[in-house]
Structure 1
Amino acid sequence: MKSWILLFGGALIFTDVLIWMDKGLSMELSSLLYLNGLLVAVFVTFLIWRYNRETSYMKELIHIVAENDVHWQEALPEPVFNRDQLTNEFLGQIATDQLNNLSEIKAANLIESDYTAAWVHEVKAPLTAMKMTIDANREFPPMRKIEAEWLRVHLLIDRQLYMSRMPSLETDYVLTLTEIGRLVTAELRDLTPWCLEKNIGIELDEKELAVVTDSKWCRFIIRQLLTNAIKYSPTGGAISITTNQKPSGHRVLCITDEGPGIPAHDLPRVFDKGFTGNTGRLHNAATGLGLYLAQQVAMKIGILLTIKSEIGKGTTVQMTFPLENEFDATRK
């Protein structure tokens, strides 16, 4: 656009100088000014029309970018010039390549997920046989230690199965009215051998508060929180589990342990993937995945996880459940 203005301005000045220097061309100054004004007016009109025509395509592209539409390739504007047509073809090719790459990645992830699920199911068969053997020989004292170790392996494999299912959680999501106490009790029953090994007492209140949630995935979150509480609790310690209702109507599940606590500077990062912190480094079994996975699932099913902790005073994890009418926002 600037080059056009410079070209026109240079041509106009050149013409005026030529008229002024050529003695054979006599023109009044007023006529020369009138001619210059007329040419400038025509040029400005042409410039405005050309500018709008040449920038219309780019303006529509900027609008599409601002909307951040997933299906942007379908909303590409109609080309005005050949370069616009080439741009459309180039962007369309990019979209096609992206979709192909994404399909390949999804297919590879699906194969890996199916392989993991199949592997977990295969491993569960010998684990079930081991559990039956343990149950049949409980009179032998070493069986308690073996059962505790069996439980750790079972929890790791079960967590791996849930990790393989997480990408498709939205398709495996069923809301039901469930009592919080039942979910906690079911998980405590499975974790009993570990609690007995460490002689950990469980203080569970008797409140019956119901929530609308997905029982299976909610139990997965509770399992991660309880295993963390047991892992970091001292031998002979206690874990307190309470439920209450806020004035807003939200139900809250609190799990409090008597562990070493979490430093204040570590609290903002406890839900980060792979983060173990100073406390986790003292336990070789810490992977930094438990709270991360719990947070990822919680965000998908509308549960808010918060942690309060002080060094030497234990840790409290709160699960705040959404109200029934809030699930429309959760699903979007």
Structure 2
Amino acid sequence: MFIAYLKDMKSWILLFAGSIAVTDLLILIDKGLAMKLSSLIYLNLLLVAIFILFLIWRYKKETQYKKELLQISGDPSRDWQEGLPEPLFNRDETINDLLRQVADDHLQKLSEMKAANLMESDYTAAWVHEVKAPLTSMKLTIDANRQDPAIRKIESDWLRVHLLIDRQLYISRLTTLESDYVLEKIKVQQLLTPEIHELRSWFIEKNIAVEIEGDMEVLTDSKWCRFIIRQLLTNAAKYSLAGGVICIRTSLSQGGNPVLSIKDDGPGIPAHDLPRIFDKGFTGGTGRLHNAATGLGLYLAQQVAGKIGISLSAHSEKDNGTTMNMTFSTENEFDATRT
């Protein structure tokens, strides 16, 4: 910091050096200002010493404000506006006023953005609830006429619309997930059963069998965990071959964490696409063959998983299906996070 200060004060240093040089020149030229060389050297050394002491004093004085600012910036837990150092000079006071003004403007804009997002989220939620009413009515009609083959086709399309609207509702709630997050111990099959039942018309349409092996208790938020499972099952149903099988298994990882695996028998994911499947909007080569692919399902699943302590991973081989793994956190890991 001292080197930087000297660079800032180079005009002072040059002025002092120039002044001494001009003074020495005048003394040497002007016979009326005659002075012994030893006395001249003594005078120069005295002035240099005084100037060095002056620089050190000004350095400590002028950098005190900067040092206190750096301490505030290095401690993000402190309220920096309340902790702004007392100004020693007029320029310090101007900086304080400017920083407070910028902070107030930023908070005002942030508040306006949050209000706009909240309004949009509320509008989306209200719209979704309004749309769900006619969808519920349609579902009752479908259930009453299920024997009609045309109705079964309509049910498949109805399910697609229902899932898209329901996903939009979850998207609108994603920013406030922390306030709607409840940990509970629950069996994996209790999470799977309602989602498989929800998607049964797709499974029937493509004659896909669902095999479940094993069960175990996990610690998670059931509502948001079911949202993740729904995205994985939707992908599995979409890419599985007609007459295929979706295998769902539970196991323990090497670290003792519960793992839920969902495997389809679809075309698989190419190796060069696998690292990007959780990227927003990424559909990959396989997804482009399905016009319904949006590149949002796995992205949203990953976003939710990261917030509720679930690790998502994928394993796939070309022409040999894809396995999606959900690794749950243990109770001890959640306790460590909270403390």
- TM category (shorter chain) comes to over 0.9
2:113 matched residue in structure 1: 105
2:331 is aligned, of 309, 324, 331, to: 324
1:241 is aligned, of 238, 243, 248, to: 248
Q: Larger deviation: 292-301 or 18-27?
A: 18-27
Q: Which amino acid aligns with 1:31?
A: S
Structure 1 residues 6-45: aligned runs within 5 Å: 6-45=14-53
Structure 1 residues 189-208: aligned runs within 5 Å: 189-205=197-213, 207-208=214-215
Task: Tell me, yes or no, if structure 1 residue 286 matches structure 2 residue 293.
Answer: yes
Q: Please give the secondary structure, in 1, of the residue aligned with 2:329.
A: coil
Q: Which amino acid aligns with 2:273?
A: D
List runs of 5+ in structure 2 lacking aligned partners.
1-8
1:146 is aligned, of 154, 170, 185, to: 154
Question: How far apart, CA to CA, are the structure 1 residues paired with 2:337 and 2:239?
Answer: 32
Shift of 1:31: 2.0
Question: How far apart, CA to CA, are the structure 1 residues paired with 2:77 and 2:255?
Answer: 36
Q: Larger deviation: 169-178 or 43-52?
A: 43-52
Question: How far apart, CA to CA, are the structure 2 residues paired with 1:117 and 1:329?
Answer: 34
Structure 1 residues 94-243: aligned runs within 5 Å: 94-205=102-213, 207-243=214-250
Question: How far apart, CA to CA, are the structure 1 residues paired with 2:137 and 2:70?
Answer: 63
Question: How far apart, CA to CA, are the structure 2 residues paired with 1:81 and 1:329?
Answer: 47
Q: Structure 1 residues 330 and 269, CA, compared in 2 at 3 Å: closer, same or farther?
A: farther
Q: Structure 1 residues 330 and 119, CA, compared in 2 at 3 Å: closer, same or farther?
A: farther
1:258 is aligned, of 265, 269, 273, to: 265
| 1:303–1:319 CA contact under 8 A, matched in 2 | yes
Q: Structure 1 residues 330 and 197, CA, compared in 2 at 3 Å: closer, same or farther?
A: farther
Question: How far apart, CA to CA, are the structure 2 residues paired with 1:313 and 1:297?
Answer: 28
Q: Please give the secondary structure, in 2, of the residue aligned with 1:178.
A: strand
Question: How far apart, CA to CA, are the structure 2 residues paired with 1:198 and 1:45?
Answer: 87
Question: How far apart, CA to CA, are the structure 2 residues paired with 1:154 and 1:6?
Answer: 77
2:68 matched residue in structure 1: 60
Q: Which amino acid aligns with 1:93?
A: Q
Question: How far apart, CA to CA, are the structure 1 residues paired with 2:241 and 2:336?
Answer: 41
Q: Please give the secondary structure, in 2, of the residue aligned with 1:14.
A: helix
Shift of 1:73: 3.1
2:4 matched residue in structure 1: none
| 1:260–1:313 CA contact under 8 A, matched in 2 | yes
- How many residue pairs were aligned? 331
Question: How far apart, CA to CA, are the structure 2 residues paired with 1:101 and 1:328?
Answer: 36
Q: Larger deviation: 59-68 or 112-121?
A: 59-68
2:5 matched residue in structure 1: none
Question: How far apart, CA to CA, are the structure 2 residues paired with 1:34 and 1:70?
Answer: 52
- 1:95-132 deviation line (CA, Å, top 9, x unaligned): 11111111111111111111111111111111111111
1:271 is aligned, of 259, 265, 278, to: 278
Q: Which amino acid aligns with 2:119?
A: I
Q: Structure 1 residues 71 and 234, CA, compared in 2 at 3 Å: closer, same or farther?
A: farther
Q: Structure 1 residues 325 and 193, CA, compared in 2 at 3 Å: closer, same or farther?
A: same
Task: Tell me, yes or no, if structure 1 residue 48 matches structure 2 residue 53.
Answer: no
| 1:300–1:330 CA contact under 8 A, matched in 2 | no
| 1:302–1:330 CA contact under 8 A, matched in 2 | no
| Identity within the alignment, % | 66
Q: Which amino acid aligns with 1:157?
A: I
RMSD after superposition: 1.6
| 2:265–2:321 CA contact under 8 A, matched in 1 | yes
Shift of 1:160: 0.7
Question: How far apart, CA to CA, are the structure 2 residues paired with 1:292 and 1:170?
Answer: 18
List runs of 5+ in structure 1 lacking aligned partners.
none
1:72 matched residue in structure 2: 80
| 2:311–2:326 CA contact under 8 A, matched in 1 | yes
Q: Please give the secondary structure, in 2, of the residue aligned with 1:304.
A: strand
Shift of 1:169: 0.2
Shift of 1:66: 4.2
Shift of 1:154: 1.0
Shift of 1:263: 1.1
- 1:236-277 deviation line (CA, Å, top 9, x unaligned): 111110000123220001111011111111111111111111
